[in-house]
Structure 1
Amino acid sequence: MMMIVGLFIVIATVYFLIKQYDARFVLLASGIIMACIGGVPMSSLDSFAKNMTNGGLIQAVCSVMGFAMVMKITQCDKHLINFMAKALSRFRPFLIPGVVLATYAVNVALPSAAGTAAAAGAIFVPLMMSAGVHPAMAAAAVKCGTYGSMLNPGLAHNPFVAKIAGVSVMDVISFHYKANIASLLTAAVVITLTAYYLKEHKGYQSTRFEADESFKVNYLYALMPILPIAILIVCSTLFVDKVKMDVPQAMLIGAAVSLFVTRTHPVNLSNAFFEGMGKAYGSIIGIIISAGVFVSGLTAMGLVNNFMDIMLNNPAIVKICAAVGPFVLGVIMGSGDAATFAFNEAITPHAQDFGLSQVQMGSMATLGGTLGRTMSPIAGATIIVAGIAGVNPMEIAKRNCLPMVLAMVVGMFFLLN
């Protein structure tokens, strides 16, 4: 009877998430209700309190989003994107795959899919449309590159998996970066072939946009968004024994250098940094806290143990569940975060029971959820680029369907080998 009630609550949770109710409220409410039914109501509240002070995770996510806000007010992100746009405009045959790669690079430095879609889409969509690319294909190319954040140490899933596995964030990234790059190249090639097959790579006459070539790029400004990533890479490879550099330190250095380079008022820059940190805690850390409460409810009702038993008796389905589960939920919910956090919290700690490492299983779930969200017609980033291009979000999802599915297959192949 407990199993039936638990499954009913889980189905109701998924339903409300699909209907775009606030993920934090839905997960919190479901977790508390299940904990009460399971007879241990305090377990959900204890989980809430525990996850509120998840030090390493809070440091990484909040500092990265603070730096992203600094890049926005200094317009360094705009200089980076315009620099890429000017370079791409000289190589028209490579425009579509180039935009995918360029958007991906922007998302590595600025780890917000919606923020990247807005910033990159405002430049790249008009650029492609003025070059004759169909509006839906132009928007789809930008959307196709909005999962570069997986290579950013501050993406919430990277420190989350690192904490579970007891390794550093850079260890997690160094494990999955090959799979991530392979999936990106697959997606870029497939969406380009799709554009040629649909004859949407040229011939469109844009009446809305003309290429803006008047913007003067400051190359020093354009370097600022990627500076912290470069610092982390250099310190973790060349000076690992001499300099202990973690995400918050790199982000603060990047913000400080940006202050001197752009000569922004120090108070404005400081306010922007802390505003970004606050938003990160409320929106990103909030989902992690809520997912932990949800999992505590699942545990209280015995659903986690039952799910574990099913997978132990059928180990062949574990790999499918880790990849396809978060992918499908990412598509139908428009966000891979809730499903991925819940899966990693409940199942990834037991990865070794299924012949996988915790980093391996966590990376599979993260990549699956991220690619599913990239394909979703109701994701915030999809709606943003659809608005810029003036098309229906479903038209973007149709064009991204095959690239994302094949990207997932290729990415999982790399992660499992």
Structure 2
Amino acid sequence: MNSSIIGSLLSLACILITTRLLLKKYNPHAVLLFSGLIMLSFSFILNYKMPELSDSSGFSGFDLFKYIKESFANTNSNVGLMIMAIGGFVAYIDKIGASNCLVYVAMKPLKLFKKHPYLAASLVIPISQVLFIAIPSAAGLGLLLMASLFPILINLGVSRISAVSVITASTALGIGPASAITASASSIVKLDIVSFFLNHQIVLASILSVSLTISYYFVNKYFDAKSLDTQSKIEVQEKTITAPIIYAIIPVIPIILLLVFSKLFNFFEVPITLDTTTAMLISLFIAVLFELIRTKDIRFVFNSLKTFWDGMGNIFKSVVTLIIAADIFAKGLISLGFIEGLLSLSLNLGLNAVGVSIVMTIMIFLASMLMGSGNAAFFAFGPLVPKIAAKLGVSSTSMILPMQLSASMGRTVSPVAGVLIAVAEIAGVSTLEIVKRNLIPLIVAMFIMLCYQFI
């Protein structure tokens, strides 16, 4: 039997077993970690190309565990640190009463939506999609919206799962000059990144954003009515506002900072850029300054910072470690040739250019779902597009745009995606619940995208 077929069959078996264990509510950290290690072990035994290590131990048995070590190091120095910083900030602003103040202030003009809570929830998607262009981290934006918008939506009468679903949907379309996927796609098709964004991404993304807004309105309303989801409104409404009203600005300071100092706007002659983690730390110290002015008690304020560290720790043990386990799982899939197997299958079906493009777009969507990373799925498929397009006699751009968008859309329905894991932890819901809510609107959006692009 062809070695590539063996690898594909082994990866498929691991996927099925992993899915079954997750549905049976086995610990997802352990399931993903051990599944990934088993697939990496199969890859080594079958002499497949293993993922690169920055510093091999010289013994393959030890290298299996070096993958975990490097994943910890890479995750904690990048997205992991960012997610922990946001988690700590969210915990701190809740402790000092800033979240309550934001809800109190926001509810006054938003009382209009009391009778139409699902309309308010759905409108979050196009508004936040604009923010996603300037803040291109799915997990980062998701957590920022959890700090600012989530309690407001709950107080309007939206269920927790509906509120979380529209927040994650805000990250379904990875577009804009600051997006890593956009940078990769524009580089592959040899187009200027801004031209690719303005001439190709915006039109299709706008159509899909409208589609998501409409479909989420009906899907969330239907599922909440069916499940009689009448969860009590967030406790904020029942509490007395103890902090000064000015504290309402604190939860949105990170978003303001990231927008003002975004590459998208270039407000300053000398470019000033700000990453999400730094913005969170600046916002934390502004919050601390507010508390010092209010309480005039240095000991009390310094002690209150323990809430920030505890928040970081809670996010690390529940969210970051799961992202690391999912990364090992993704490495295992790639090492067994799962991506190459999908690509080979699509090319051997005897389809024309449109057929191959549709199959590859769907396969990237599914790969992103499995791996929990739009970047990993697209970076595996994307570089192969020019050769395939030349062979089929079509434009690389016409193929790559839906593939690029399907990668970020697939992440939005992945139970192991960082953004779903992070927001689910704060909202107190399961990632599988979010996936169930997201699946129908995203499938509708995929169908519309494929019709628009290829029919």
Residue 41 (structure 2) pairs with residue 32 (structure 1) = yes
AA aligned opposite 1:33: F
Instruction: Describe the superposition over 1:200-247 as per-residue Cα deviations: whole angstroms up to 9, x where unpaired.
Output: 59xx896955992655453222322413431342x5422476124152
Where do residues 167-316 of structure 1 align in structure 2 (5 Å cutoff)?
A: 182-193=207-218, 208=232, 212=237, 216=241, 218-233=247-262, 235-239=263-267, 242-247=270-275, 248-263=277-292, 265=302, 268=306, 271=309, 275=313, 282-288=321-327, 290-298=329-337, 303=341, 306=344, 310=348, 315-316=353-354
Tell me if the contact between 2:11 and 2:333 (Cα under 8 Å) persists in the aligned partners.
no
Instruction: Describe the superposition over 1:267-312 as per-residue Cα deviations: whole angstroms up to 9, x where unpaired.
Output: 537736864885675333553354234313318x974774585489
1:146: Cα distance to partner? Answer: 1.9
1:128: Cα distance to partner? Answer: 1.7
Q: 1 CA distance for matches of 2:215 and 2:413?
A: 16
1:37: Cα distance to partner? Answer: 0.8
Q: 2 CA distance for matches of 1:398 and 1:43?
A: 35
Where do residues 94-173 of structure 1 align in structure 2 (5 Å cutoff)?
A: 94-102=116-124, 105=128, 111=140, 124-125=153-154, 127-128=156-157, 139-140=161-162, 142-149=164-171, 158-159=179-180, 162=183
1:363: Cα distance to partner? Answer: 3.0
Tell me if the contact between 2:102 and 2:251 (Cα under 8 Å) persists in the aligned partners.
yes
Partner of 1:4: 5
Distance 1:303 1:365, change over 3 A: same
Partner of 1:73: 91
Q: 2 CA distance for matches of 1:207 and 1:24?
A: 34
Please, what is the CA RMSD of the aligned residues? 5.4
Distance 1:323 1:384, change over 3 A: farther
Distance 1:252 1:113, change over 3 A: closer
Deviates more, 1:274-283 or 1:222-231: 274-283
Distance 1:205 1:58, change over 3 A: closer
Distance 1:349 1:28, change over 3 A: farther
Which runs of 5 or more structure 1 residues have no equivalent in the other structure?
Answer: 130-134
Structure with higher Rg: it is 2
Q: 1 CA distance for matches of 2:407 and 2:110?
A: 30
Distance 1:95 1:272, change over 3 A: same
Where do residues 382-401 of structure 1 align in structure 2 (5 Å cutoff)?
A: none
Q: 2 CA distance for matches of 1:283 and 1:399?
A: 21
Instruction: Describe the superposition over 1:86-118 as per-residue Cα deviations: whole angstroms up to 9, x where unpaired.
Output: 543333354212123348749968637699679
Partner of 1:372: 413
| Length-normalised TM-score, structure 2 | 0.62
Tell me if the contact between 2:32 and 2:326 (Cα under 8 Å) persists in the aligned partners.
yes
Deviates more, 1:42-51 or 1:345-354: 42-51
AA aligned opposite 1:10: S
Distance 1:52 1:193, change over 3 A: same
Tell me if the contact between 2:212 and 2:441 (Cα under 8 Å) persists in the aligned partners.
yes
Instruction: Describe the superposition over 1:5-55 as per-residue Cα deviations: whole angstroms up to 9, x where unpaired.
Output: 222212112213322253343233213312321355686867965993899
Distance 1:99 1:413, change over 3 A: same
Q: 2 CA distance for matches of 1:49 and 1:43?
A: 9
**Number of residues paired by the alignment?**
390
Partner of 1:23: 32
Distance 1:189 1:9, change over 3 A: same
Q: 2 CA distance for matches of 1:309 and 1:381?
A: 37
Tell me if the contact between 1:121 and 1:142 (Cα under 8 Å) persists in the aligned partners.
yes
Q: 2 CA distance for matches of 1:271 and 1:226?
A: 21
Tell me if the contact between 1:113 and 1:146 (Cα under 8 Å) persists in the aligned partners.
yes
Distance 1:272 1:245, change over 3 A: farther
Instruction: Describe the superposition over 1:38-86 as per-residue Cα deviations: whole angstroms up to 9, x where unpaired.
Output: 3556868679659938999865523431331232122255655565555
Q: 2 CA distance for matches of 1:356 and 1:207?
A: 48
Q: 1 CA distance for matches of 2:266 and 2:349?
A: 42
Partner of 1:325: 363
Partner of 2:296: none
